[in-house]
Structure 1
Amino acid sequence: MADSKKDEFLDDVEAAEAEAYAAETEEIEADDVEADELAALRAERDELRDRFMRALADAENARKRADRERRDAEAYGGTRLARDLLPVYDNLHRALAAAGDQEGAEPSPLIEGVQLTLKELRNVFQKHGIEEIAPQAGDRFDPKLHEAMFEAPVPGTRAGEIIQVSTVGFMLHDRLLRPAQVGVSSTPAS
């Protein structure tokens, strides 16, 4: 009987060792599963963080773009109207030039009215950021601001100098509304 207790005891020890081994194996497997789940959760977190940061950057870019477009609309929204008013300015200016050709002691009320209208139009232009480009004869031709209407060799000038201004140009803030129309010297360099 002592042997049977001994055998029972050994069987119990073996069973306990087997249970401990199985529990340890399950624990290791559970740790592996938890590690895999943890790695998957970290990967998902990183992906969601990346998507969130991209969405945040997109929203910030959209806000900046909308702000820039709003500022441009405020500054340049009246471009078409301003371009449509330029011929009015030109006609008032021509009317005064034609009236100035007549010799007279005192300007007539009509001429004074045209002068006041032109002055008021200039004030409105200035208020809205429209500036006149008025080159003078002898200035250098700038293709960014001037439009060459003709070229002519004029003695006493250098090639590329403005020799005549046909029509003044206009800028709206930093954008060209209309280039000044000019004649340019083509006199070759001597």
Structure 2
Amino acid sequence: MTDTSEFMEDMPEQDSELETLRAERDEMRDRWMRALADAENSRKRADRDRREAENYGSTRLARDLLPVHDNLRRALDAATEEQRAESAAFFEGVELTMRELLNVMDKHGVKAVSPKVGDKFDPQNHEAMFEAPVPGTVAGNIIQVMTEGFMLHDRLLRPAQVGVSSTPA
């Protein structure tokens, strides 16, 4: 019977050791789960950063090309029908250059924001350059478009510059 009593005396010590091992195991499992979650979060963050760099890495270049677009547009808009007739080949070349520039910009996710006269002013996509009371218009509607705006995918690259009616209702 002495063997049994010795065994019973060692039980609390073994229970204590078992509890210590279980606590250690639980702590290790918790640390492992946190490390796994951190690794998954890092992977997702890296994936998001890669996608953003892919989509928006060309923002500076796209902004630098906008004045080229504006100047080509001004050149085409300033030409009279008489000038176009006299220099048809020249103007055809300018129009082809403009189309190619727009195609390249489109290929890289740059889209024009082209409001029309009479559209409602949208501060998210338009920049009001002036307000004027114009008879026959509604307050808050666009009365003149100075320059087109541009979006890069879903981000505004440059707002369209417009004049807005301030005619009272």
Match of 1:78 among 44, 58, 62: 58
**RMSD value, Cα:** 1.4
Match of 1:110 among 78, 90, 111: 90
The residue aligned with 1:121 is 101
Cα pair 2:84 2:91 within 8 Å, conserved: no
Provide the identity percentage. 67
One-letter code of the match for 1:47? E
The residue aligned with 1:141 is 121
CA distances 1:112-165 after superposition (whole Å, capped 9, x unpaired): 211111110011011111110010000000011000011111111111000000
Match of 2:74 among 73, 77, 94: 94
TM-score (norm 1): 0.84
Q: Per-residue deviation at 1:97?
A: 1.0
Match of 1:60 among 8, 25, 40: 40
The residue aligned with 2:110 is 130
For 2:31 and 2:20, locate their aligned partners in 1 and report how far apart those are by CA, in whole Å: 16
The SS at the match of 1:140 is coil
Match of 1:186 among 163, 166, 169: 166
Q: Per-residue deviation at 1:107?
A: 4.0
Residues 104, 38 of structure 1: CA spacing in aligned structure 2 closer, same or farther, 3 A cutoff?
Answer: closer
Instruction: Provide structure 2 residue ranges, at least 5 long, that are not aligned to the other structure.
Output: none
Greater Cα radius of gyration, structure 1 or 2: 1
For 1:136 and 1:164, locate their aligned partners in 2 and report how far apart those are by CA, in whole Å: 8
Q: Per-residue deviation at 1:27?
A: 1.8
Q: How many residues get paired?
A: 169
Instruction: Provide structure 1 residue ranges, at least 5 long, that are not aligned to the other structure.
Output: 1-19
CA distances 1:91-110 after superposition (whole Å, capped 9, x unpaired): 01101111236455354322
TM-score (norm 2): 0.94
One-letter code of the match for 2:27? E
Residues 105, 145 of structure 1: CA spacing in aligned structure 2 closer, same or farther, 3 A cutoff?
Answer: same
CA distances 1:14-65 after superposition (whole Å, capped 9, x unpaired): xxxxxx45x4443222111110000000000000000000000010000001
The residue aligned with 2:135 is 155
One-letter code of the match for 1:151? E
Could you list the runs of 4 or more consecutive aligned residues of structure 1 that deviate by over 4 angstroms after TM superposition? 101-104
Residues 104, 73 of structure 1: CA spacing in aligned structure 2 closer, same or farther, 3 A cutoff?
Answer: closer
